[in-house]
């Protein structure tokens, strides 16, 4: 299927690894011009070189911390300066630390708020004039935790639903301008983040990380962890004109893990 993304300008936050990296690759394979982002210049440069080599796409690495206002401004302005506008914004930031409620300090809550919610708010605020001009799309990466809270990730359980509420509100505000906004909610996707969470749970349970990962896999109806590429496929579709009548949704990529109806 031709998703009509050739020469589209796409900003992919948090894309030096994991799901963000897979999303950047997927857009590049569609012929988009991609601004990628991370905090480590060496890792980001290597990712950019790999995407260019594999796809031939134009790739702009932007070193910035999207957990800060300055970082969000830098990412968006760099993409606009290099490519002249923005058609698609993909918001993403590393997940907050895995702690239970009683082990969380005010500082933990503040930093998680900045990283998980305010990074999304700020990236959308910075990019919106350009996305509105192109009648483009915004896709936010959230988590199954927004619908199915997981033990020991209290910060994610509390803040991911806020991103979903923001998206749903904005979907109605932005619809008259032609801008669509949707969320993607991954379940157990094997990334560095999931490996970290498996290690935390394993330590708490007194078992190996491998055993914990196997236990989680057995909870999934499809019987396995997902891949970043499987999440990226949905992101790219939702951002494309092929999904032109889809806005205000929060779609799970979880192998059937979530058993609820809504």
- Residue 49's domain comprises 9-187+228-251
CATH code (residue 137): 3.40.50.720
Asked if the structure places residue 137 within a domain, the reply is: yes
For residues 94 and 210, state if they share a domain. Answer: no
* SS3 state at 105: coil
Clarify whether residues 122 and 211 are in a common domain.
Answer: no
Counting the structural domains of the chain, the total is: 2
**Is-contact 19 252, C-beta < 8 A?**
no
Domain assignment present for residue 262? The answer is: no
Same domain, yes or no, for 117 and 196?
Answer: no
pLDDT exceeds cutoff 90 at 202: no
* 111 and 154 housed in the same domain: yes
Residue 83 CB: number of other CB atoms within 10 A?
21
Q: Does residue 115 lie within any of the structural domains?
A: yes
What number is the average pLDDT over the span 100-128?
96
Report the percent of the chain where pLDDT is more than 90. 84
Looking at the structure, do residues 141 and 211 belong to the same domain, yes or no? no
Residue 42: exposure state from Cβ atoms within 10 A (0-12, 13-18, ≥19): exposed
The pLDDT tens digits for 37-76 are 999 999 999 999 999 999 999 999 999 999 999 999 999 9
pLDDT category of residue 165 using cuts at 50, 70 and 90: very high
- Do 145 and 28 lie in one domain? The reply is yes
Let me know whether 170 and 72 are in one domain: yes
Same domain as 212, residue 89: no
């Amino acid at each position: 299927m031709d998703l009509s993304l050739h020469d589209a300008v796409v900003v992919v936050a948090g894309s030096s690894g994991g799901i963000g990296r897979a999303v950047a690759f997927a857009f590049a394979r569609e012929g988009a011009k991609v601004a990628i982002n991370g905090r480590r210049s060496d890792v980001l440069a290597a990712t950019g070189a790999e995407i260019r080599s594999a796809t031939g796409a134009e790739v702009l690495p932007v070193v910035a911390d999207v957990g800060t206002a300055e970082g969000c401004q830098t990412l968006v302005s760099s993409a606009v300066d290099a490519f002249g506008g923005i058609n698609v914004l993909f918001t993403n930031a590393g997940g907050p630390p895995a702690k239970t409620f009683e082990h969380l300090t005010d500082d933990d809550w503040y930093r998680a708020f900045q990283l998980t919610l305010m990074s999304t708010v700020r990236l959308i605020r910075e990019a919106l004039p350009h996305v509105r001009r192109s009648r483009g799309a915004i896709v936010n990466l959230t988590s199954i935790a927004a619908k199915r809270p997981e033990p020991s990730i209290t910060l994610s359980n509390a803040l991911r639903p806020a991103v979903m509420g923001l998206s749903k509100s904005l979907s109605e505000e932005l619809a008259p301008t032609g801008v669509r906004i949707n969320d993607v909610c991954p379940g157990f996707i094997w990334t560095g983040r999931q490996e970290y969470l498996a290690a935390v749970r394993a330590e708490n349970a007194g078992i190996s990380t491998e055993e914990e990962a196997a236990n989680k896999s057995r909870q999934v109806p499809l019987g396995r962890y997902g891949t970043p590429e499987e999440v990226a496929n949905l992101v790219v579709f939702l951002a494309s004109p092929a999904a032109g009548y889809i806005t205000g949704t929060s779609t799970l990529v979880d192998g059937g893990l979530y058993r609820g109806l809504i």
